């Protein structure tokens, strides 16, 4: 490889001491500060990070390098973690040089630790027997163990420890056996768009203004695919190229983008541009996605349209007569046996509508006449209506959302039946390993309770330390810490609890603190105004309310593990599902929520958490004129539940721990992504024997 003007311009090191109170973030910060001092670079000039896993950390996590960037305040275009054992340091430098040579970055920081050496090299610290009998490690149960466990336990009712003994001796066989749990092995291929700039990095300016920053998307986890395809947009040929995601996903995922720089206005930014850009993006996703699979020789039996954005794939399949048929009704009838559709929200902004003339002007009609387009999606063309008419089955993302969707779309002639499959979250990612360790089988209940409480207190201290680091506000450790973090949308009513100063003063006097985080959609002015109100409240109530900017996965994990209780108060039934409360629940953080989204399925009032009132049939969440009445009533119910139910329970350690345990037991399977995938397979993908 011929390198272009590459040089190692500085070297720095810091000493790691046993039982030091300096964690890995402090050590990394010391290294970075020293390097900046030696070179004269500014931190903003560093646009790449290459590192190895660091001893005694979460370095095995697939997100470790990205988390390190966040912790160091780096905005990079190239980010990679090198796993080559004792050669990791050399490998990191080589990868950084290659990235610079390829023009992917200019200034790279390489960060790594000495190889860990022990005096007793013959000792094996990995206890495989424990790994397999008590699979509560950082990344959860090994995949083969999970598959074997579910199938074997269902057939024979074998308990976890007995199955663990079997798995210890058979783990390699389980991995290699082609017939092991064959029914659960469903090949899934995903297609998306490679955005040149991802979602906003949203910060609060010095004068309180919300600022959106758009870092370049890192491409180090992508490999190019040798497939030639193109689409037509505004009558012009737009060649596309595909990339395969090589990390972070267990299934096959392809991402599409235009080949020519002049066409990259289409994929420049997630949620960027207006209706023309959105239509062009949906042509790339839908039409381009179908053509990519054809170019690769992939012939899916089921096409899953995840919301309306992918509906143009259905038009392309009709145009190409993928499943035959002479007339349009015949082609639709044949096609819909192979299409399933998920609707994700009752909010109008999430159910796109396009003028048919605009579709035809840009080429989104796929050659179908106006009458046939109107027959599918109406005029103007509703992506949701078309999705429902093209699919053999559709689903909402929670039981209540299924009911809401059926009522919303009941007048759509020829629509697919809408069932409910409640969302779930990936337990190994979102449930802290300390929770699993505390509740490991074989311990006395009193021991489990003590360890569960200790784990929660440790995670709360970690969150409080992060709050202090970011805001310089030190919230009390012994008071009730209320967490609220999610997308900042008006209907989610993040500031509901802040609306009555007298009631708020009572809560503060009782030791209640509130921590907020969230991002507004870049084009959602109402959402940005909501964030501004939260920031203003944090300044007004400095020792009781904080707002943490730039909500991301790392911060989400800290919040859903470290808060004492998780607040959710949307206008019912506008919350289709919600998932942050699931993450909190499986970490022993009870929910306090309106009975909306997933919570009606998980709530046992006073046992797994608390509800904020009961549904009122008079409410009309879609009518802005009714909003003030609904908000005033729900605010009063929220205060009443906090003061009469939550705070008394928090003051009784034994009762609170019982609620924590019930919250975990309720959530960790029922609201897991494993359960969700099983439901999609059984109820949607193979529901008609496919």
> 353: which strand partners?
382
First to last CA, the chain: 50
CATH superfamily entry for domain 445-614+622-671: Glycogen Phosphorylase B; (3.40.50.2000)
* CATH architecture observed for domain 24-111: 3-Layer(aba) Sandwich (3.40)
Q: Is the dihedral of CA 660, 662, 665, 668 positive or negative?
A: negative
- Structure tokens, 392: 């053999």
- Judge whether 55 and 113 are in contact, CB under 8 Å: yes
Q: How many CB atoms lie within 10 A of CB 292?
A: 23
Sorting pLDDT into bands at 50, 70 and 90, what band is 196?
very high
pLDDT at residue 120 above 50? no
Average pLDDT over residues 618-642: 94
pLDDT at residue 147 above 90? no
Between 55 and 481, the more confident residue is 481
Structure confidence at residue 75 (pLDDT): 87
Backbone angles phi, psi at 646, to 5 degrees: -70, -50
Q: Do the bridges between strand 222-233 and strand 236-245 make them parallel or antiparallel, or are there none, so unpaired?
A: antiparallel
Q: Maximum Cα–Cα distance for the chain, whole Å?
A: 79
Query: What's the pLDDT tens digit per position in 12-70?
Result: 888 766 555 666 777 888 889 889 988 889 988 999 999 876 544 444 455 677 778 87
Q: Is the dihedral of CA 443, 444, 447, 448 positive or negative?
A: positive
Query: What's the pLDDT tens digit per position in 590-606?
Result: 999 999 999 999 999 99
- Judge whether 668 and 433 are in contact, CB under 8 Å: no
Measured in residues, the chain has a length of 690
* CA–CA–CA angle 99, 103, 105 (5° rounding): 60
Helix (H) or strand (E) holding 420: strand 418-420
Percent of the chain with pLDDT over 70: 84
Helix (H) or strand (E) holding 256: strand 252-258
Which residue in this structure is represented by tokens 């389980």?
174
- Mean residue pLDDT of the chain comes to 85
Residue 253: strand, helix, or coil = strand
Domain over 191-424 is classified CATH 3.40.50.2000: yes
Contacts of 89 (CB under 8 A, 6+ apart): 52, 110, 112
Average pLDDT over residues 619-627: 90
Quote the pTM value.
0.73
Domain ranges of the chain: 24-111, 139-184, 191-424, 445-614+622-671
The interaxial angle of helices 501-509 and 627-641, nearest 10 deg, is: 20
- Structure tokens, 483: 């967490």
- Starting at the edge strand that comes first in sequence, how are the strands of the sheet with 222-233 ordered? 189-193, 252-258, 236-245, 222-233
Between 168 and 553, the more confident residue is 553
Query: What's the pLDDT tens digit per position in 353-371?
Result: 999 999 999 999 999 999 9
Structure confidence at residue 124 (pLDDT): 38
Q: Is the dihedral of CA 124, 129, 132, 133 positive or negative?
A: negative
Among residues 407, 411, 433, the alpha carbon closest in space to that of 420 is found at 407
- Structure tokens, 403: 């009911």
pLDDT at residue 150 above 80? no
Among residues 392, 360, 362, 361, the alpha carbon closest in space to that of 373 is found at 360
pLDDT at residue 80 above 50? yes
Average pLDDT over residues 560-576: 96
Determine the Cα–Cα distance for residues 24 and 687; give it in Å rounded to an integer.
Answer: 49
DSSP 197: B
* CA–CA–CA angle 134, 428, 666 (5° rounding): 85
Same fold: 191-424 with 445-614+622-671: yes
Among residues 439, 463, 469, the alpha carbon closest in space to that of 515 is found at 463
Sorting pLDDT into bands at 50, 70 and 90, what band is 347?
confident
How many Cα atoms are found within 13 Å in the side-chain-facing hemisphere of 244?
Answer: 13
Structure confidence at residue 209 (pLDDT): 85
- Structure tokens, 470: 């970011």
Structure confidence at residue 167 (pLDDT): 36
> 368: which strand partners?
none
Determine the Cα–Cα distance for residues 64 and 59; give it in Å rounded to an integer.
Answer: 6
Structure confidence at residue 424 (pLDDT): 94
Percent of the chain with pLDDT over 90: 62
DSSP 336: H
For 499, counting Cβ atoms within 10 Å of its Cβ (0-12 exposed, 13-18 middle, 19+ buried), the class is: middle
Long-range contacts at 442-450 (CB < 8 A, ≥ 24 apart): 442/134, 442/161, 449/654, 449/657, 449/661
Average pLDDT over residues 225-236: 95
Between 657 and 64, the more confident residue is 657
Structure confidence at residue 490 (pLDDT): 92
């Amino acid at each position: 490889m011929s390198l272009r003007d590459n040089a190692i311009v500085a070297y720095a090191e810091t000493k790691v001491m046993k039982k030091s109170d300096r964690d890995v973030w402090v050590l990394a910060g010391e290294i970075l500060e020293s390097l900046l001092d030696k070179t004269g670079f500014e931190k903003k000039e560093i646009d790449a990070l290459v590192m190895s896993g660091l001893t005694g950390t979460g370095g095995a996590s697939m997100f470790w390098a990205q988390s390190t960037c966040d912790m160091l305040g780096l905005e990079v275009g190239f980010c990679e973690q090198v796993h080559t054992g004792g050669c990791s340091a050399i490998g990191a430098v080589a990868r950084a040089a290659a990235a610079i040579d390829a023009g992917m970055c200019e200034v790279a920081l390489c960060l790594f630790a000495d190889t860990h050496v022990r005096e007793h090299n013959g000792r094996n610290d990995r206890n495989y027997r424990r790994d397999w009998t008590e699979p509560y490690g950082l990344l959860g149960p090994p995949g083969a163990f999970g598959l074997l466990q579910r199938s074997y336990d269902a057939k024979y009712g074998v308990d976890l420890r007995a199955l663990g003994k079997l798995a210890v001796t058979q783990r390699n066989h389980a991995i290699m056996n082609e017939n092991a749990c064959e029914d659960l092995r469903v090949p899934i291929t995903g297609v998306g768009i490679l955005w040149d700039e991802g979602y906003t990095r949203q910060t609060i300016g010095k004068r309180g203004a919300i600022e959106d920053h758009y870092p370049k998307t890192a491409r180090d986890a992508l490999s190019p695919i040798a497939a030639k395809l193109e689409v037509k947009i505004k009558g012009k040929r737009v060649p596309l190229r595909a990339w395969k995601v090589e990390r972070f996903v267990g299934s096959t995922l392809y991402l599409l983008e235009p080949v020519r720089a002049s066409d990259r206005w289409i994929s420049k930014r997630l949620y960027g541009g207006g209706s023309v850009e959105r239509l062009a993006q949906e042509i790339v996703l839908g039409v381009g996605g179908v053509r990519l699979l054809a170019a690769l020789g992939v012939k899916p039996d089921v096409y899953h349209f995840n919301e309306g954005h992918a509906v143009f794939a259905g038009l392309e399949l009709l145009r190409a007569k993928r499943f035959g048929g002479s007339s349009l009704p015949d082609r639709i009838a044949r096609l819909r046996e192979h299409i399933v559709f998920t609707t994700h929200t009752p909010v109008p902004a999430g159910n796109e509508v396009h003028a048919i003339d605009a579709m035809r002007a840009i080429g989104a009609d796929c050659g179908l006449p106006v009458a046939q387009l109107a027959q599918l999606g109406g005029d103007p063309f509703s992506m949701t209506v078309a999705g429902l008419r093209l699919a053999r089955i559709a689903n909402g993302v929670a039981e209540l959302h299924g009911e809401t969707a059926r009522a919303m779309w009941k007048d759509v002639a020829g629509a697919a039946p809408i069932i409910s499959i409640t969302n779930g979250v990936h337990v190994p990612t979102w449930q802290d390993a300390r929770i699993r360790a505390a509740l490991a089988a074989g311990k006395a209940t009193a021991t489990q309770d003590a360890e569960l409480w200790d784990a929660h207190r440790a995670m709360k201290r970690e969150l409080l330390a992060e709050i202090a680091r970011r805001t310089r506000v030190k919230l009390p450790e012994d008071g009730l810490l209320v967490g609220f973090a999610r997308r900042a949308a008006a209907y989610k009513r993040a500031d509901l609890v802040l609306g009555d100063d007298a009631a708020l003063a009572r809560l503060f006097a009782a030791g209640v603190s509130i921590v907020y985080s969230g991002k507004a959609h870049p084009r959602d002015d109402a959402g940005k105004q909501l964030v501004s109100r939260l920031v203003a409240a944090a300044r007004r109530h400095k020792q009781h309310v904080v707002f943490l900017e730039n909500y991301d996965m790392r911060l989400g994990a800290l919040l859903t593990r470290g808060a004492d209780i998780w607040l959710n108060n949307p206008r019912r039934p506008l919350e289709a599902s919600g998932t942050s409360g699931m993450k909190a629940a499986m970490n022993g953080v009870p929910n306090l929520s309106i009975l909306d989204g997933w919570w009606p399925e998980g709530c046992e009032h006073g046992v797994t958490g608390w509800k904020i009132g009961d549904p009122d049939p008079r409410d009309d969440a879609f009518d802005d004129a009714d909003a003030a009445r609904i908000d005033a009533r729900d605010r009063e119910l929220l205060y009443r539940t906090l003061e009469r139910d939550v705070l008394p329970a928090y003051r009784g350690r034994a009762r609170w721990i019982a609620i924590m345990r019930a919250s975990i037991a309720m959530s960790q399977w029922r609201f897991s992504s494993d359960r969700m995938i099983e439901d999609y397979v059984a109820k949607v993908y193979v529901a008609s024997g496919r």
